[in-house]
Amino acid sequence: MDNLFSLIDQRATNILNKSNCVKSVPCIVTSVNENGLVQVRTLSGDTLHTVPNYSGYEVVEGQTVFIFYTGEILSSANAYIAGAGNRVKAVPFGFSISENRLGEVDGETQISENNFLCENDTSALIVFNAVVIGGESERITISAELDDNALEYRAIADLTSLKYNPISFTLPINVEKGEHTLIFKANGTGNFTAINSFVYGSGISQAEIKYDPTSDSDYIYEIKNDTSNVIYYIGNSTRPAIPVLLNAKPVKILRAVSFNSRDDVEYVYIPEGVEEIE
């Protein structure tokens, strides 16, 4: 049985080393260079590495930090500082999870959106993981936009038709204090069965989705038993908030097909008074 566990552990380690999964190692800062690069010593292997600092903190000699890296071997070329404690002002690390769109894509399609707040000017990590079933195209491209500005990085994945293909990458970004919107787009043909995306960094938190108020003229509805039942949404907002009342009658029922023909609608706010979706 021990041999079996050892074999499973070995195979899992091999798969992890060959993947794009991000690993982390605790280190001690030995020096900070004038060009911003930081020399660190790993606590486990006692090896030295010179890496960039993407933690959002100014680090000092003797400070404990975490360096992140991908691949099988840790080296200065594939590692960076992504976690560090600030001795002056501790700003907690946080994350913001994306809202994702699963299913078929054909051509350029938005598949993920993340609205997040940044407490201070800092560096953060964008993490994207997805599984896509290959379609007619042999490859698919994932691109990202931050506040309508395209990021230089593109993930290009060669797909195997009718098989599950994993896509995974991590990007460091610099963000200013305030609210931001991160969008991922896929270009190609395939079926996304799973997407896991988030932003991680110092002072990062989830931003509240802003819905647009709507009125009677934005809906086709019917009045039954002194209540309003929504049949179709015909308004212009891509983030409509269904009102509590339509024609002065409480909204109780929402038809399941109300938004079927509206691919442009990103989010819908459903008031607490809605009792049934039929």
Boundary-marking domain end, from 66, 84, 102:
84
CATH of the domain at 189: 2.60.120.40
Shared-domain flag, residues 102 and 197: yes
Cβ atoms of residues 192 and 111 within 8 Å: yes
Shared-domain flag, residues 174 and 254: no
Which strands make up the sheet holding 38-42, listed edge to edge? 48-51, 38-42, 23-32, 64-69, 79-84
- Can you list the positions of beta strands (E) in 159-248? 164-175, 178-202, 204-206, 212-213, 219-224, 227-233, 240-241, 245-246
In the chain, how many domains are there? 3
Shared-domain flag, residues 52 and 124: no
Backbone angles phi, psi at 87, to 5 degrees: -80, -15
Shared-domain flag, residues 73 and 133: no
Shared-domain flag, residues 53 and 20: yes
- As a whole-number percent, the residues of the chain with pLDDT over 90 amount to 28
pLDDT tier, 88 (very low <50, low <70, confident <90, very high otherwise): very low
CB atoms within 10 A of CB 229: 21
Q: Please name the residue that has the structure tokens 């992140």.
A: 68
pLDDT at position 14 is: 52
CATH of the domain at 29: 2.40.50.140
- How many CA atoms lie within 13 Å of 92's alpha carbon, on the beta-carbon side? 3
Cα–Cα dist 259/234, whole Å = 9
Whether pTM exceeds 0.95:
no
Shared-domain flag, residues 103 and 50: no
DSSP, res 269:
B
Boundary-marking domain end, from 174, 206, 238:
206
Q: Which domain holds residue 156?
A: 93-206
Shared-domain flag, residues 180 and 267: no
Shared-domain flag, residues 62 and 145: no
The tens digit of pLDDT for each residue in 103-162 reads 888 899 999 999 999 988 888 889 899 999 887 767 899 999 999 999 988 888 888 888
Boundary-marking domain end, from 17, 52, 84:
84
Q: Please name the residue that has the structure tokens 């891509």.
A: 238
Cα–Cα dist 266/239, whole Å = 6
Shared-domain flag, residues 97 and 197: yes
The tens digit of pLDDT for each residue in 222-277 reads 999 899 999 999 999 888 999 999 999 999 999 888 888 887 887 788 888 888 88
Shared-domain flag, residues 199 and 225: no
Shared-domain flag, residues 61 and 137: no
Q: How far is CA 172 from the centre of its chain?
A: 13
Shared-domain flag, residues 165 and 117: yes
pLDDT at position 143 is: 94
